[in-house]
Homo-oligomer: A and B are copies of this chain.
Amino acid sequence: DFLNALQEIRPAFGASTDDLERCRVNGMTQCGERHEHIYKRAMLLVEQVKVSKGSPLVTCLLEGPSGSGKSALAATIGIDSDFPYVKIISAETMIGLSEGSKCAQIVKVFEDAYKSQLSIIILDDIERLLEYVPIGPRFSNVISQTLMVLLKRLPPKGKNMLVIGTTSEAGFLESVGIRDAFSVSYHVPTLKTEDAKKVLEQLNVFAEEDVDAAAEALNDMPIKKLYMLIEMAAQGEQGGAADNIYSGQEKIRISHFYDCLQDIVRF
C-alpha cells in the first residue's frame, strides 16, 4: 500500500517557484541583523553544496517562534540558490492523507531530487508534517522515522543536496531525535523594538511622533503578526480607512492601534 501510494504520485521535476513565492505573501522587508545573519550563513551552505565532494548531503534547521519568518526565509534561500531542483514539502498539500501516503509523497520528492545534480528540499513546519499535538504527546512515528532516515541517507554519487527544515517546536524535535539529525541549526527570532521600528518606517503608516511608541509596543512580536495587526489597525475604528492609510493620506491612530493589539491572540 505504501508502494502503491508511491507509484500513484505524479513525477514532479523542476523548481516550484509559485509555491515558494506563496511563502512570502507580505514580501521580504529588512527586519534586523539577526534575520540577515541567518540568510548569509545559509547562503554559504548553498555555496558549499555547490562545490562539495566530501559532503554530498547538508542539512539545516530553522527554528523559532510561530510567525517569526522561518518559511519565508527558507523559501527565499531556495529561490536565491538558482538550483535546478527546489521543492517545498508542506502539510498544506497533504491534508487528510494517511501516514503511509504522506511518507510516500515525502520519499517521492527525495527520489526526484536525487536525479538532480544540485537540489534543495524544504521540510516546512516539520511538527505539522509529523501531525504533532502536545497532548500525549502524539505524532506520527512512521513519518518521524522516515524523516530521520532521509536526513542521513546520502544521495547517489555525484549528486549534492541541501535540506532545510523549519519548525516552531524545536523542543519536540529534540525529544524525538530529529533535531540532532540536522547538521546545523539557526534560531529565527521575534522582532526587538529596533527591528519593529525599521519595519514600521518602511511601511510608513504611523505619524512620525507615534512610530517610537508603536515600535515599543511591538517588542517581541513575530513579523507575521505585525503584518496582521497593522492591517487591522489600518481599518480604523469605523472601518473603511485602509485605502487612505496605505496611500499615505491618513495615519493610524495610536489609540486604535493599542485596541487592536488586545484582540490579537497570545501576545
Q: Which residues of A contact B (CB under 8 A)?
A: 2-3, 6, 22, 25-26, 41, 43-45, 47-48, 51-52, 54-56, 58, 61, 66, 91-92, 95-98, 100, 103-104, 107, 128, 131, 133-135, 137-139, 141-142, 144-146, 148-150, 152-154, 175-177, 179-180, 182-186, 225, 227-228, 231-232, 235, 239-240, 242-243, 263-266
Contact = CB atoms under 8 A, between A and B. Distances in A.
A153 B185 CA distance: 26
A107 B96 contact: yes
A232 B95 contact: no
A54 B142 CA distance: 37
B243 A154 contact: no
A52 B133 contact: no
Given A48-B239, A265-B185, A104 B100 contact: no
Copies of this chain per assembly: 6
B25 A54 contact: yes
A95 B103 contact: yes
Contact of A227 (B43, B55, B134): B55
A66 B54 CA distance: 19
Contacts of A185: 263, 265
Contacts of A184: 232, 263-265
A181 to B, nearest CB: 8
A253 to B, nearest CB: 14
Given A135-B175, A265-B185, A146 B95 contact: yes
